[in-house]
Structure 1
């Protein structure tokens, strides 16, 4: 039996989360540090190296007890070179040689992938994906991200843009997206998209609604407030949620019609609305899905919460075990 461990790192714009896991994917230790994005993000990788080395000393562990390190990061990842570019929330404008720096600093092999891909790997391995061969993961946060696993492998595409679920067009000529296109799913189903929809629908709604009163009053609105009010039968909030779930159901059906995954898993902050969200997405999914897909692809809520990224990142290091 192999008793060696994996290290998973989930790099975010405000926090870097770390975990030490067994080869079976069970978290044994976890900790986090603040992300220091000052000086063009030049402190981030040294902080990661220092934190890993410090905790190995703390737990009286040595490098021979580990298979390797895996990390999920924002930005565009070159997995072969182990570099990241364009992670603007980390202040990384130039290409970062992450793999080389972390391997040099820790003495362990290191693998890298996009953060949404890693969360998808985590949910597939130890969460709602039931370790299935074909799983689609959609994360609804500030934006909309995704990870697509087909035949037990992540789909990266020819230039790393495979799985950009947030940029499926669900409303031709709709809201302009940061990517330059119009009508991307991200503009309707992300936390910011829900608020944008609420503000637009409030303008044209003339009935009584607590949501409308809050918007007209200039109160701060969040996607959670919209969903909470919808659960309380606020008419306008329910119209907003219906639109969000229409777009989500349409997108999930389109992905599933292409890939026919065993599970389509919905996670991220917006998914905290739970079955209230899932049931409405399911109705729209069934409306747009191909008959065979409708009866074979299952929609589920994510199960791992904030641990998905650490677990999925750690699973990247399993490749070093396979190469031995």
Structure 2
């Protein structure tokens, strides 16, 4: 392995750090996880990453100059120069992660938002493979996303480009989003948002539904009931599809992608979700974007480390 060059991808989360060793062509050779240690000035986790890289070198007999660098994904907004402005999950305030990690590992480092890293991973080796213009939307507890234009990540002035979850789509909303505002996309199409809409619908409408007997209603319950023909569940999802389709149509008007890749826990609903969202999308889409493709994400939890690898390679090109 002495003649080859490698890249380390590090997806730093609040609980674990996912690490991957890649060849230059994006072949994943090994992946593993370590606990995220959050203490002091925030550099403990960086020291742990450095130690893991050293172990990896020894295990695979990689010389000191065999690793080109480290791509790191962070759960928070990151500026182009690698500075994080408040990362709650890691206990960081304003922190120059790139400089700190470069000094710790002794290698070139690129630092990006974790959703952006996952988006680049899916665009490179996953649901957006072969496309230069990709919109990635992840539906979990909240809603995140990213825009890739001409093969390059659009980060924005504050590293917050692609925060689709906090686009306002209903100014008349009375309930408050986690961000403190009202009417955000996240309140309608995230896992927590869909469950919220379901509870609200059941409270406002009469009629039988299997959902009424579910004590702690989840998004999965709604999709499962809809698959079984539950009329209330299908009505709830029609509202979700409409809100999500409206959102994607607005995003596509700005970003003009070839493909929209949908990831996150809610995407486990599969083609049922994709087909429903397409219907909502076609109600609102600007005509040049009519042929946008919709794909499900395929890399799962590995998307972040793939994207970190690609972004590091791009920075060295």
Structure 2 length normalisation: TM-score? 0.93
Q: In the alignment, which residue of structure 2 is the partner of 1:59? A: 60
Is the Cα–Cα contact under 8 Å of residues 6 and 67 in structure 1 kept in the other structure? yes
* Structure 1 residues 277-316: aligned runs within 5 Å: 277-295=273-291, 297-316=292-311
Task: Answer yes or no: is the 8 Å Cα contact 2:126–2:299 preserved in 1.
Answer: yes
Matching of residue 69 in structure 1 with residue 64 in structure 2: no
* Equivalent in the alignment of 1:91: 91
Could you tell me how far apart the structure 2 residues matched to 1:124 and 1:105 are?
Answer: 30
SS in 1 for 2:95: coil
Contact kept in structure 2, 1:134 and 1:151, CA below 8 Å: yes
Question: Residues of 2 paired with 1:235 and 1:46: CA distance?
Answer: 54
Instruction: Kindly provide the CA deviation profile for residues 217-243 of structure 1, in whole angstroms up to 9, marking residues without a partner as x.
Output: xx2222222222222222222222221
Could you tell me whether the CA contact under 8 Å between 1:68 and 1:317 is conserved in 2? yes
Size of the aligned set, in residue pairs, is 314
Q: Aligned equivalents of 2:133 and 2:187: distance in 1?
A: 27
| Structure 1 partner of 2:137 | 138
The answer on 1:321 being equivalent to 2:316 is: yes
The CA RMSD over aligned residues, in Å, is 1.7
Partner of 1:8: 9
Q: Which residue does 1:110 correspond to in 2?
A: 109
Who is 2:44 aligned against?
A: 43
How far does residue 40 in structure 1 lie from its aligned partner after superposition? 6.8
8 A contact 2:70–2:312 mirrored in 1: yes
User: What residue number does 1:263 align with?
Assistant: 259
Alignment of 1:176-255 (within 5 A): 176-214=176-214, 219-255=215-251
How do 1:14-25 and structure 2 match up within 5 A? 14-25=15-26
Conserved? CA contact 1:67–1:320, under 8 Å: no
Deviation of 1:38 after TM superposition, in Å, equals 4.7
Q: Which sits farther off after the overlay, 31-40 or 82-91?
A: 31-40
Note if contact 1:79-1:111 (Cα within 8 Å) is conserved in structure 2.
no
1:36-85 C-alpha deviation (Å, 9 max, x unpaired): 335575532222222222222222223311221101111121231x2223
Q: What is the CA deviation profile of residues 78-127 of structure 1, one whole-angstrom value per residue up to 9, with x for unaligned ones? A: 231x22232112222x2223222322222211000101111110111111
Q: TM-score, normalised by structure 1?
A: 0.91
1:120 aligns to 2:119 (yes or no): yes
Deviation per CA, 1:122-156: give whole Å up to 9, x if none: 11111111232211000111111111011221112
The 1-side partners of 2:124 and 2:20 are apart by: 16
- Deviates most, 70-79 or 133-142: 70-79
- Measured after TM superposition, the shift of residue 267 of structure 1 is 0.7
Q: What are the Cα deviations for residues 272-300 of structure 1, in whole angstroms up to 9, with x where unaligned?
A: 100010000001111111222113x1111
In the TM superposition, residue 191 of structure 1 has moved relative to its aligned partner by: 1.2
Once residues 279 and 29 of structure 2 are traced to their aligned partners in structure 1, the CA distance between those partners, rounded to angstroms, is 39
1:273 is matched with which residue? Answer: 269
Residues 1:40 and 1:193: Cα distance change in structure 2 (over 3 Å): farther
